[in-house]
Structure 1
Amino acid sequence: MLFLCRISSYICMNFMVMERRLFTFCFLVVVIWQSVALAAGTPSFTALTSSLDEAIEVHRHYAAQREGRIARLKRRLLDADTTNLSFFRWNGEIYKEYKAYVCDSAIHYLHVNLNWAERYGQRNAALETRLELAHLMASAGMYEEAAELLRQIDKSSFPAHLLPDYYNCYHKLYTELSFYTLDDSFKKRYQALAVHYDDSLMQVLLPSSPLYLERMETREAAAGHLDEALSINDARLAHAEPNTPEYALVTYQRSLLYRRLGNREEEKRYLALSALTDIRLSITDHASLWNLAELLYEEGDMEHAYRYIRFSWDETNRYNARSRSLQTAGILSLIDLTYQAMRERQNDRLRLYLWLISTLIVLLAVAVVFIYRQMRRLSAARNNLEQTNEQLQLSNNIKEEYVGRFMNLCSIYINRLDTYRRMVNKKISAGQMDELLKMVRSREVLDTGLKELYENFDIA
């Protein structure tokens, strides 16, 4: 009988495996066309960069929206009876708002709910809260605390519907420990435990559940089946609404797939989509933006790399999780040093340009003074020339006046001589010698001529 039970159990397990594989295959075939449509509708990286810059400028507006929701929930919590289940529910809603926003506050409200559930005998609620708290602590780098919470759980009477959360917590814990440990032997041990709990998790998940698809995508990628992993991501992305935490997560994981494919442009594009969603939702627990900053740093885009890593660091400090600070500290230091060195080189160039401009200004001032002096000299020479020309013109006028007057006098004297000649000729012809002699002896003509000469001389 025991043998038959084992055979039956074996057949059932194989049937479940075949069912999952068949479901996955059919699902992949159905969503292949979605990847093409999705890629066609995705904005360019340049456009996303502009949107990121704008979102960073107004990020306080998005934070204010989340703070407003938290304030409204806290007001409802004040009105709730601490002995009523509504108190537990409103605490849970506040925790959800803080979960990806401020780690310390999220842990606080989970502790409040855990204490409430244990105090009032709400066993399932206490288990759910404990698992949620352990997962959050493992994500935030509080590994010993997360492990202690999980050790306190009695699995013998554990409800079946919480098994996925239980295995997922252990998988998260050992994945994080394997990533951050510096000891190779511990790293291998943690990796083996993470794989073990991942296997257990996949056995209890429904093939249609989001977590199942996420784990299948990770498994296909780890096995080197990147096309299959992308197809699964296509399906997840098709069901993820834009501007939701799920969309930010799926686009981030898609960027990791493109990194393994060596498609840097698509990797940057989906990192930008994920980071943009994080900022708009005021999610401070994110890796997309500092990964994007690292890529831009490698490409030499220091302005964007520095802006993004500084903003990401500020958001990480607000979230206040140790593991996130460790993740970003290295790249922040590297980008910051490189950026400061670049700014120093720019300042050196600016100082050089300033020195050259100052030298040119001095030379220009000297040239202006020299030109001004030359212009003054030229103006003085021009004035002297004009005065000389005026004097020459005046001299020419005087000469013309003298010549004209001389010619006029000569003409007058010639006419007078001619008149005198005719008169003498007439007197001689008429035999009037005595009158002619008398006229010649008279000084009247001479005196008249001298008078005119003196008058002309005085006028000249």
Structure 2
Amino acid sequence: MNKKLFVLLLLMAWSMGYSQSMRSDSLLKVLRSELKDQSQYDQEKEKRMGELRLALRNANGAGFDKQFDLCSKLFEEYRSYKFDSAFVYARKLIALAKGFQQKEDLIRSTIMLGSILLNSGLYKEAFEVIQKIDTAGLTNALKSDFLVLRARLNGGIGEYDNDAFFSAGYYRQADKDFKLADSLSPPGDFEQTINMAFLPDSVKRKNLTPDFFYHLITRRPMPAHNLAMVATRLSFAFTGEDRLFFIILGAINDIRSSTKETLAIFLLGQELFKMNQTNDAFAFMQEADRNAVFYGTRNRALQIESMLPLISAKLVDEKQHQKDKLLIGFLTFLIVAIILFFLLVIYRKQILRIKTSEGMIREKNKELERVNDKLWESSKIKEELIGLFFKTCSSYIEMLDTIKREIQHYIKLGKYNEVQQLLKDLHIDKEKGSLYKMLDSIFLTMFPNFITSFNALLNEEDQIWPKSGETLNATVRIFALMRLGITENEAIAKVLDYSVSTIYTYKARIKSRALIPANDFERKIMEIEFIDKPGIG
């Protein structure tokens, strides 16, 4: 999805008065779409870097400015893409500056090297690099860059330590360096406006809403990588759906800029986990893990590895809960169906008993004979289906018990990969297919002429015959369930795991092609004979 379409989608969301939650959902759809196109963005970036590398090889022996400029461009391309390559070009920049005795460029290159060491989690090495920088006589701009790097490094170590005593000292030093950097190189109007998002609510103006900051950053022309950084930073100024919105915006633009040293996708996984959106949280945290491995971000990889088991365990619990609900629902449906069936039988018997007239008795005797045939048929169907139900339930209960014990065992041993593999080995579709095949087999035992009788109601070109190896296909199975007495679309949809609209569409399509009026089609289906009725030789 291109940027114009993305902006249009968001503007439509605001103009129609969407809630914060719906706006975040819309952005999540865009993010999933962009993840599918991620390889295309990466290929474009690789192509640019390939052209720059070729130009640098051709510039071998050229002057300082040409080589330094090409190395700088390559460093910027790799800075947030891959640590190893960025490290190589940072060292080349330092070597060039030393060789041509360019002090200012040497310091700038050293600061660049320190920044990628920080991004990769190499805090000790980053400290060693910046300690070698001679800050005497630096321009305000370079000194400000140096202080910002040192502040970020202290802040990163404080966050990594996560200790009430030691982290406080690092945070104090970081705050001191940030303030000193601001005094040397005051932020521009744009940066000052962004900083206002972090003011306390009691001080912040009422018009400084999330909408205001969204329009501020999206209407300002800037590269996707810069937009991602600003959006991610703004996310820390808000909470709830507003925070989620800016994190997703940052993640989208990280993908578009082929940024692998990305914080946004990791924060998104954390935020969705807190909001109990476990499936999405797990998917995005896995994406963050792939990015961290690709870039070489050691500290981020450790954070992700500590989060993934928590999300995975919660995901397993949710899946188990869904299976339990499905089983309980099926049992409840079956019990209600049996109760209703017996109520119907009792009601019909009472109707027969109140008939005293001899003529009515003879008529009712005939009716009773037909009812008895139906009861016998229903009894046989019930017998077969209850046998199938208990056999299937017993099998699944045994399987669920085995899986539960294995998962508990692996969790106690901390073998989460085995838990994931165990879950991957659960082929729900295969089990569902086996259940349908067993149901089909029992049905055809009771109604061996059903397929022939069913197709006799259709034109020859519209007839539906099972393929080789099939018992019943999806369409015929719907009408087979009707013949068993399951006539409601909702009930059929639950049994076959289809939507109600799909069941309705299948039935309407077949009725439109029938040789008889659509209103009589279901009646004809119910008249298809049951095998071996009483009194039939």
TM (normalized to structure 1)? 0.65
AA of the residue aligned to 1:122: Q
- 1:408-447 equivalences under 5 Å are none
2:142 to 159, 162, 173: 162
Is the 8 Å Cα contact of residues 220 and 226 (structure 1) preserved in structure 2?
A: no
AA of the residue aligned to 2:67: F
Q: Which one has more relative contact order, counting CA pairs under 8 Å at least 6 apart?
A: 1
- Alpha-carbon separation, structure 2, partners of 1:342 and 1:348: 17
Q: Structure 1: state its 5+ residue gaps.
A: 1-36, 382-460
Provide the residue aligned with 1:47 in structure 2.
26
Structure 1 residue 175 and structure 2 residue 175: aligned?
Answer: no
> What's the CA shift for 1:309?
2.0
Structure 1 residue 120 and structure 2 residue 100: aligned?
Answer: yes
Q: Secondary structure at the match of 1:206?
A: coil
Is the 8 Å Cα contact of residues 197 and 204 (structure 2) preserved in structure 1?
A: no
Is the 8 Å Cα contact of residues 221 and 257 (structure 1) preserved in structure 2?
A: no
AA of the residue aligned to 1:69: R
2:238 to 258, 262, 280: 258
Provide the residue aligned with 1:80 in structure 2.
59
> What's the CA shift for 1:58?
1.7
1:206 to 186, 195, 218: 186
Provide the residue aligned with 1:332 in structure 2.
308
Is the 8 Å Cα contact of residues 230 and 257 (structure 1) preserved in structure 2?
A: no
> What's the CA shift for 1:99?
0.9
Provide the residue aligned with 1:366 in structure 2.
445
Is the 8 Å Cα contact of residues 240 and 246 (structure 1) preserved in structure 2?
A: no
Provide the residue aligned with 1:315 in structure 2.
291
- Alpha-carbon separation, structure 1, partners of 2:136 and 2:163: 33
- Alpha-carbon separation, structure 1, partners of 2:13 and 2:446: 63
Structure 1 residue 193 and structure 2 residue 169: aligned?
Answer: no
> What's the CA shift for 1:184?
2.8
> What's the CA shift for 1:117?
0.5
Q: Secondary structure at the match of 1:155?
A: coil
Q: Structure 2: state its 5+ residue gaps.
A: 1-10, 324-425, 450-528
Q: Which of structures 1 and 2 has the bigger CA Rg?
A: 1
- Alpha-carbon separation, structure 2, partners of 1:354 and 1:52: 34
The structure with the largest helix share of the pair is 1
> What's the CA shift for 1:365?
3.5
> What's the CA shift for 1:203?
0.8
> What's the CA shift for 1:124?
0.4
- 1:87-98 equivalences under 5 Å are 87-98=67-78
Structure 1 residue 100 and structure 2 residue 100: aligned?
Answer: no
- Alpha-carbon separation, structure 2, partners of 1:181 and 1:366: 69
- Alpha-carbon separation, structure 2, partners of 1:226 and 1:309: 36
Is the 8 Å Cα contact of residues 237 and 250 (structure 1) preserved in structure 2?
A: yes
Provide the residue aligned with 2:367 in structure 1.
none
Query: Kindly tell me: are residues 90 and 352 of structure 1, through their superposed partners in 2, closer, same or farther at Cα, counting changes over 3 Å?
Result: closer
1:65 to 35, 44, 55: 44
> What's the CA shift for 1:213?
5.5
Is the 8 Å Cα contact of residues 285 and 315 (structure 1) preserved in structure 2?
A: yes
- Alpha-carbon separation, structure 1, partners of 2:53 and 2:191: 31
TM (normalized to structure 2)? 0.56
Question: Percent same amino acid among aligned pairs?
Answer: 17
AA of the residue aligned to 2:303: Q
- Alpha-carbon separation, structure 1, partners of 2:243 and 2:258: 22
AA of the residue aligned to 2:90: L
- Alpha-carbon separation, structure 1, partners of 2:134 and 2:218: 39
- Alpha-carbon separation, structure 2, partners of 1:222 and 1:199: 22
Is the 8 Å Cα contact of residues 247 and 277 (structure 1) preserved in structure 2?
A: yes
Query: Kindly tell me: are residues 132 and 270 of structure 1, through their superposed partners in 2, closer, same or farther at Cα, counting changes over 3 Å?
Result: same
> What's the CA shift for 1:303?
3.2
